[in-house]
């Protein structure tokens, strides 16, 4: 689960961006003593992500605002469902509204799309993972949303694992280096707790990558027959990851080839924000 301090950092930055010198509308139009109750309502079905983001947004604006969550992270909801209810000073609720919605709509969109991919590969050994193709500044939240949708996380950053991609290999081979020897040398220099992944774009590269000691071999943009050939050639000596050309129409076929991991950039770079709204609750007899 995303750390509270990281959530607060992201939310505080968003609040400062949205109201750098205060909420001019709320402060001039809404009485300081006014209170309100509002519901976070789903306009369409989906998978919820962002419970602690909702809580943090309203709390950082005004700690007197109470947040009652009715659906937990990873929970499914239908159109019309109330996901959360907030109550307290009206100015604070109105100031926090857009930031809370922006973040939770984004996270729930990622979680909902991830859940569709996970369902598409159900019954296979393949697990769906994200990539570093995230919204700058929101990686922690989007990675949590992937988990809430039933997916897994790839490396968080360039600092977390060694991942030799096509451009790395192009630089190496342009200088005449032997791929297997270069990978073995890298293993000698890397921490013993680190993971070595190597991307290949053709079957012929696999033997050298295995000889170099790769922990994971990424088969990038392979056709289905080539994926099956790659899985057989690797033969359990490394984790097999498939990437490239993955969408909801192709992911089941990719999973059926026997790969262990399918990385999907679309989980975060193409997820549509879910339609959620914050509706003020009008109590009977309050008019």
243 assigned to a ligand binding site: yes
- Residue 47 known to bind ligand: no
From 9, 59, 98, 187, active-site residue: 98
Q: Is 229 marked as a binding-site residue?
A: no
CB contact at 8 A, 145 and 134: no
Is the CA virtual torsion 224, 163, 239, 131 positive or negative?
Answer: negative
Ramachandran bin of 238, using left for φ above 0, alpha for ψ from -120 to 50, beta for the remaining angles: beta
Determine the Cα angle at 167 with ends 230 and 125, to 5°.
Answer: 30
279 is catalytic: no
> Active-site residue among 215, 220, 229, 275?
220
Q: Is 165 annotated as a binding residue?
A: yes
244 assigned binding-site residue = yes
Is 98 assigned to a binding site? Answer: yes
Q: Which distant-in-sequence residues (6+ apart) come within 8 Å of 276 by Cβ?
A: 40, 41, 42, 43, 83, 101, 104, 105, 108
Catalytic (active site) residue 220: yes
70 an active-site residue? no
Whether 18 has a binding-site annotation, put simply, is no
The annotation status of 264 as a binding-site residue, yes or no, is yes
For residue 9, say whether it is annotated as part of any ligand binding site.
no
Distances (CA, A) of 271 to 10, 41, 122, 130, 193: 20, 20, 20, 12, 33
Q: Which of 85, 133, 152, 187 is catalytic?
A: 133
Catalytic-residue membership of 98: yes
- Rounded to an integer, what is the distance from CA 229 to the centroid of its chain? 30
- Rounded to the nearest 5 degrees, what angle is found at the Cα of 71, between the Cα atoms of 68 and 77? 135
- The verdict on whether residue 287 carries a ligand-binding annotation is no
Q: Is residue 231 within 8 Å of 257, Cβ to Cβ?
A: yes
To the question of whether residue 132 is assigned a binding role by annotation, the answer is yes
Catalytic position from the list 165, 178, 215, 228: 165
Q: Is 159 annotated as a binding residue?
A: no
Residue 155 among known ligand-binding residues? yes
State how far the Cα of 207 lies from the Cα of 180, in Å rounded to an integer: 9
Spatial distance between the Cα atoms of 128 and 146, rounded to a whole number of angstroms: 9
Catalytic residue flag (residue 199): yes
Confirm or deny that 90 is annotated as ligand binding. Answer: no
Q: Which residues are annotated as a binding site?
A: 98, 131-133, 155, 165, 199, 220, 243-245, 264-266
Q: Which residues are annotated as a binding site for substrate?
A: 98, 131-133, 155, 165, 199, 220, 243-245, 264-266
Q: Which positions are annotated as active-site residues?
A: 98, 133, 165, 199, 220
């Amino acid at each position: 689960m995303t750390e509270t301090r990281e959530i607060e950092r992201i939310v505080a930055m968003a609040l400062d961006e949205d109201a750098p010198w205060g909420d001019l509308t709320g402060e001039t139009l809404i009485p300081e003593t006014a209170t309100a109750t509002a519901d976070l309502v789903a306009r369409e079905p989906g998978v919820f992500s962002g419970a602690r983001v909702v809580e943090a947004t309203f709390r950082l604006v005004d700690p007197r605002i109470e947040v009652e969550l009715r659906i937990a992270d990873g929970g499914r909801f239908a159109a019309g469902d109330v996901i959360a209810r907030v109550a307290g000073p009206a100015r604070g609720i109105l100031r926090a509204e857009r930031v809370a919605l922006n973040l939770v709509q984004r996270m729930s969109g990622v979680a909902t799309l991830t859940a569709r991919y996970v369902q598409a590969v159900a019954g296979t050994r393949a697990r769906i993972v994200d990539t570093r193709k995230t919204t700058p500044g929101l990686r922690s939240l989007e990675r949590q949303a992937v988990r809430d949708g039933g997916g897994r996380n790839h490396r968080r950053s360039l600092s977390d694992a060694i991942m030799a991609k096509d451009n790395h290999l192009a630089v190496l081979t342009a200088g005449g280096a032997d791929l297997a020897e270069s990978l073995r040398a890298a293993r000698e220099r890397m921490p013993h707790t680190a993971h070595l992944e190597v991307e290949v774009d053709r079957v012929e590269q696999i033997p050298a990558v295995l000889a170099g000691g790769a922990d994971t071999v990424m088969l990038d943009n392979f056709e289905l027959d080539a994926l099956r050939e790659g899985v057989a050639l690797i033969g359990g000596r490394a984790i097999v990851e498939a990437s490239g050309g993955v969408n909801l129409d192709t992911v089941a076929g990719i999973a059926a080839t026997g790969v262990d991991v399918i990385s999907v950039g679309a989980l975060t770079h193409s997820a549509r924000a879910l339609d959620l709204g914050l509706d003020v609750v009008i109590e009977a007899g309050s008019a």
